[in-house]
Amino acid sequence: TCFSLVMSSHNSDLSQYDEIQVALMKEEVLVVDENDVVTGRGSKKDTHLMTNINAGLLHRAFSVFLFNNEGKLLIQKRADEKITFPGLWANTCCSHPLWDFPNEMIEENQLGVKHAAIRKLNHELGIKLDRFTTDDFTYLTRIHYKAASDGLWGEHEIDYILIAKGDVELDVNPNEASAVKWLSKSELHEFLKDETNVPTPWFKIAVEKFVNEWWDNLDNLAAKQDNLIHRL
């Protein structure tokens, strides 16, 4: 089923936005129910319109938290060209598995979102496609949240949390991220105390509810895995 046929696109003219980001809004993400069962597909545009979100439309996403060999977390500032949550700080990489990529549809061992993570780490941050394999990502849990970006756009996702570790070479895509930082746990909390450093809603949830525990268990992440969907 292609759910985009019944989704509202009311008042969603994209002509005012960056053309590269507009093109990405045509990508088809996985529409899911509250138990994270795929029920269809929808464009990134339609699944991020608040009119559809408020009607209950939900999709699958992932968030990568990449720690280097010093134990510092890579965070990024979303480019001003982004249509949702521009200029806000987020974790290493946040995006969606896509309907048109069969390897991103694989449910077993969360392989679909791991393949998507490899693709998007390359697209956003220039991390080479062969730097990580799916085995390099530890899946921890899922977070179900809803948040408005402005009156028109927002997020309503079941977000897979993936942890990766290792040093990387970056070649940041300026259309995706305007800045990046490697921060220790204390540096991150200090950084976010500055009210000019505004986190995205999903990053704020992760920092407040989960990140300290993940950080403290980087050498034993399996102990922190669960099969839950945290409703926040």
Catalytic residues: 94, 157
Structure tokens at 179: 């800045």
110 Ramachandran zone, left/alpha/beta (phi>0; psi -120 to 50) = left
Q: Which helix (H) or strand (E) holds 42?
A: strand 38-43
For the residues of 107-163, what is the DSSP string, one character each? -GGGHHHHHHHHHHHHHHH---TTS--GGGPEEEEEEEEEEESSSSBEEEEEEEEEE
Structure tokens at 192: 């976010």
- CA 40 from centroid of its chain's CA atoms: 19
Structure tokens at 76: 């990024």
Give the side-chain half-sphere CA count within 13 A for 67: 22
Structure tokens at 163: 């942890």
The greatest distance separating any two alpha carbons of the chain, rounded to the nearest whole angstrom, comes to 49
CB 22 within 8 A of CB 14: yes
Structure tokens at 99: 């309907």
Q: Which helix (H) or strand (E) holds 77?
A: strand 73-78
